[in-house]
Amino acid sequence: MSGGALLVGLGNELRGDDAAGLLVARAVRARRPAGVEVVELGGEPIDLIEAWEGAEAALVADAVRSGGEPGALRLLDANAGPLPAVFGSASTHALGLAEAVELGRALGRLPARLAVLGIEAEGFETGAAPGDAVLAAVEPAAECVLRWLLGSTRPEEAPRCA
């Protein structure tokens, strides 16, 4: 990517709520926002380092399991420091999102603005569909993503995203 804003949706659409990041990416892509590139990654979060190369601002949407209410959104500024452990080794990834961000930080390969939007997930069963709570969170998450990527929302200013 060369400049501009990027949304990366992470997940596995064959593992229930793990599809959350992909669903958010598709909802944002459907709106065709000018200046926003949308990428879906179903593999390992380590691929993020290549995906956000050259982006001025990037947001990564992914399912998290922290024990919170399913469908809850949590927006974090990844440039501010390490992500909480809840963004560590997750459901179907060998290397977690938090580890990929820290590797990017160590290599000096983070975008100038980087945020992570976690969508609280409940079930990751193989072959299952996403749960109702995650499905209901997709549109509010897409709105949050667009506000952040287009520069009008910082994580601390996003009450509907936190």
Q: What is the pLDDT of residues 1-40, one digit of tens each?
A: 567 899 999 999 999 999 999 999 999 999 988 889 999 9
Report pLDDT digits (tens) over 100-156: 999 999 999 999 999 999 999 999 999 999 999 999 999 999 999 999 998 754 555
**What is the distance between the alpha carbons of residues 63 and 33, in angstroms, rounded to a whole number?**
23
Which CATH number fits the domain that encloses residue 130?
A: 3.40.50.1450
> What domain count does the chain have?
1
Question: pLDDT-based confidence at 85, cuts 50/70/90?
Answer: confident
> E strand or H helix at 138, and its extent?
helix 132-149
- Residues 6 or more apart whose CB falls under 8 angstroms from that of 72 comprise 119, 120, 137
* Averaged pLDDT score across all residues of the chain: 87
Q: State percent of the chain over pLDDT 70.
A: 88
Enumerate the H helices of 4-131 as residue ranges: 20-30, 48-51, 97-106
Structural domain range at position 124: 5-161
Question: Is pLDDT of 43 > 80?
Answer: no
